[in-house]
Amino acid sequence: MKLKHEDFLKDRAYIGGNWIKADGGKSFEVFNPADNSIISAVPDMGEKETLNAIQAADNALKGWSSLSAKKRAVVLKKWSELLIYYADFLAVLMTLEQGKPIAEAKSEVLYGADFFEWYAEEGKRAYGDIIPSPIDGARILVTKQAIGVCGIITPWNFPSAMIARKVAPALAAGCTVVCKPAEDTPLSALALAVLAEEAGLPAGVFNVVTGKDPVPIARAICMSDIVKKVSFTGSNEVGKVLMRTCSKTLKKISLELGGNAPFIVFDDADVEQAVEGAIISKYRNAGQTCICANRIYVHESVYDSFVEKFVAKVKMLKVGSGLDSKSVIGPLINEAAIQKVQEHIEDAISKGAKLVLGGSVHKLGHTFFEPTVLTDMNAEMRIATEEVFAPVAPIFKFKNEQKVIDLANATHYGLAAYFYSRDMARVWHVVESLEYGIVAVNTGSLSTEVAPFGGIKESGIGREGSKYGLDEYMELKYVLMSGLKQ
């Protein structure tokens, strides 16, 4: 049966293969950030419902993990195909609850589908080893097995792809999952559950628990003896809390936390390409991504040219409702985001920055903010050390290669970095000098399911995507087979 629009707008959570309300019937409203209108209401769950979901996942674990990787792949591929088929429906839903332009929303849905397709195949390649034994008549085997029930906690800025990026490898490895989506954007997660069910995923393998207060849900996941792995994408502060809580049961944990991405334009760069890359990196999702260019460093010899071309391009970016196909920048997620960006801009200006473009709430009002460009930046400004998470581009001038590398590395974060240069000797030197888990050279776009995504320093632990992402959900087992000598 073909699904309709209304089939995707769920007002119940998904636990153990059933669509259920919260105990006591409590719910909370989901708002459209573009106009603050109410889209829907979903169950306001807590510890009890989370423990029920964990138990459902545990009940399903043996059946799912005992299937061959090929049989699990059939379901994951079907899930991917359904995401592609219903991408237009899912994109509208995402734009309504998150605000991003419809084209970006559809791209995100398709990006999520890529993870299910990739891991459907990669799950078949969870190879082990045979190690030569130092003991006569013995063999040493190393196998990989599913780690078990996994708790997954995801953010609002990519409400579909972040779930897919974690769930796909977990399920491919043979794990089962309890997912807590962000309270601002639970509808995309529930829509994924609709398609999981349609794809034939067994009851309890994928569970979605919704709640306005994330604390009791996260605590239940982190404190549970049944849950063996937690994966979280979100703020640095919350990640540290989860890590401390998980330490009580020594869970395996993956953390994809904040970033403070430098974007460096050297004197030998193609300035036109650098401008295009900076626009893509900085203004995607209204600047609300952890890999956005947060600090743009431009060599003094090309600084004026870069700023002129960059500002001209930014002026062309249309701000508006994400449902308008011409819009490039949608609203920020909430009023708190508006307050934060205003504080960053005021701080920069008070310390000598020049406001070249934007700097205010857009004429559309509410949470729409003007694409903004700041120049004459320095390292004393908050925006130099804090993630701005808004459509604000601060541009710094530099003279010396080693100095800009030092400035780029002068942060607790180490997620993504970008730079432009046509000197191959410089390229390799800078790649190896930047203290980041991801480095993009001569491009502003870097995400793909086939490469390992993740940071170093306080940007997190572990990797998502690629063959390395599968290992995050598996345990190694060493098997010594002795008594084999005839």
Q: For residue 39, what are its two tokens?
A: 């889209």
Residue 1: the pLDDT is 55
229 lies in the same domain as 310: no
Which residues constitute the domain of residue 176? 5-257+459-478
Q: For residue 384, what are its two tokens?
A: 């130099």
241 lies in the same domain as 273: no
Alpha-helical runs (H) found in 231-290:
236-246, 271-283
452 lies in a domain? no
237 lies in the same domain as 351: no
454 lies in a domain? no
State the catalytic residues. Answer: 256, 290
265 lies in the same domain as 210: no
250 lies in the same domain as 285: no
Q: For residue 91, what are its two tokens?
A: 């994109």
Q: Residue 222 class from Cβ within 10 Å (0-12 exposed, 13-18 middle, 19+ buried)?
A: buried
Q: What is the CATH number of the domain that holds 168?
A: 3.40.605.10
Residue 3: the pLDDT is 84
79 lies in the same domain as 189: yes
- Check if the beta carbon of residue 286 is closer than 8 Å to that of residue 391: yes
272 lies in the same domain as 393: yes
- Check if the beta carbon of residue 414 is closer than 8 Å to that of residue 458: yes
In the chain, the number of structural domains is 2
130 lies in a domain? yes
Q: Residue 319 class from Cβ within 10 Å (0-12 exposed, 13-18 middle, 19+ buried)?
A: buried
Q: What is the CATH number of the domain that holds 357?
A: 3.40.309.10
199 lies in the same domain as 331: no
Q: DSSP letter at 311?
A: H
Which residues 6+ apart lie within 8 Å of 483 measured at CB? 137, 138
Q: Give pLDDT tens digits along the chain (486 positions).
A: 588 888 999 999 999 999 999 999 999 999 999 999 999 999 999 999 999 999 999 999 999 999 999 999 999 999 999 999 999 999 999 999 999 999 999 999 999 999 999 999 999 999 999 999 999 999 999 999 999 999 999 999 999 999 999 999 999 999 999 999 999 999 999 999 999 999 999 999 999 999 999 999 999 999 999 999 999 999 999 999 999 999 999 999 999 999 999 999 999 999 999 999 999 999 999 999 999 999 999 999 999 999 999 999 999 999 999 999 999 999 999 999 999 999 999 999 999 999 999 999 999 988 999 999 999 999 999 999 999 999 999 999 999 999 999 999 999 999 999 999 999 999 999 999 999 999 999 999 999 999 999 999 999 999 999 999 999 999 999 999 999 988
Query: CA 113 to CA 161: how far, in whole Å?
Result: 8
Amino acid at 78: K
Query: CA 406 to CA 433: how far, in whole Å?
Result: 9
Buried b / exposed e across 248-263, counting CB within 10 Å, b at 16+? Answer: eeebbbbbbbbbbbbb
